[in-house]
Structure 1
């Protein structure tokens, strides 16, 4: 399933819809303004918060946490020692690790588990520069989690580059 994101500057306070490939609203990214740390909520069309993305405070490296129903779900960090410039590691609370690599700022990257492709994020399918897709490859994966990971690593890469 492909989810379409109309790319915009991911600033605190931005709200935007992510649509499915049929043009229906699938997720709302709700930026929370006036918080001490970056906070975004991924909501379903009825407004229920599926995943909360928060900047991790007092961390040696930039990190964001993903929470579901107030419980920790995962931590996203940029990999320290990597030959690839844009390589992030997503550590789920049960110990599973996902790798995110590619050209994050160009919206050309993949999310993998143990070498298996879970999602491909790309602009290649669109003529309009401000649109990219999160193509969830496996049907049995958590689409909301993969969309949240994509939003999270793009936010972290933009912040690192100074686009905040």
Structure 2
């Protein structure tokens, strides 16, 4: 499954669509303005909230939490020792750990579980300026979760770079 994301993203309060490879709007990212922390909801085309992501207020390192139906699903934070590339760890509530690494600011990175590629985020496939693709490799993967993870990692990396 390949999705296209327009790069005018990640300003608090921005809403934007994620499209499939055919150009159909499949997910709405609803940025929530006027909040103390970065918050967004990933919705289906009918407006149903699939996952909600928010910045955790009290943590030593910037952390984002992904929730589904009010229950925490995952926590995302930068790994402590990552000198050469950006590395983030996604810890699911069941203890499963996903690894996110690559050139996040360049939108060239991967999401993996135990060495298996789950999703590839890249601008390489596209000729449209300010757009990147999210290619979810496994058909049985939770697309909403992986999209939320990619967005959260980009938000965290951008904040780290700017601050």
TM-score band by shorter chain is over 0.9
Q: What's the secondary structure of 2:148's corresponding residue?
A: helix
Tell me if structure 1 keeps the 8 A contact 2:119–2:134.
yes
- Cα distance in 2 between the residues matched to 1:84 and 1:66: 27
**Count of matched residue pairs:** 163
CA contact (8 A) 1:3 1:19 kept: yes
| Secondary structure in structure 1 of the residue aligned to 2:139 | coil
Alignment partners' CA distance in 2, 1:13 and 1:36: 12
Q: CA deviation at 1:103?
A: 0.3
- Residue 129 (structure 1) shift: 2.5
Distance in 1, matches of 2:142 and 2:15, equals 22
Q: Structure 1 residue 81: deviation in Å? A: 1.5
Deviation >6 Å, runs of 4+: none
Report the TM-score, using the length of structure 2 for normalisation: 0.97
Cross-structure match for 1:115 = 115
Unaligned residue ranges in structure 2 (runs of 5+): none
TM-score of the superposition, structure 1-length normalised?
A: 0.96
Contact 2:9 2:16 (8 Å CA) reproduced: no
Gaps of 5+ in 1: none
Please tell me the root mean square deviation across aligned C-alpha atoms, in Å.
1.0
d(CA) in 2 for partners of 1:106, 1:81: 20
Aligned to 1:87: 87
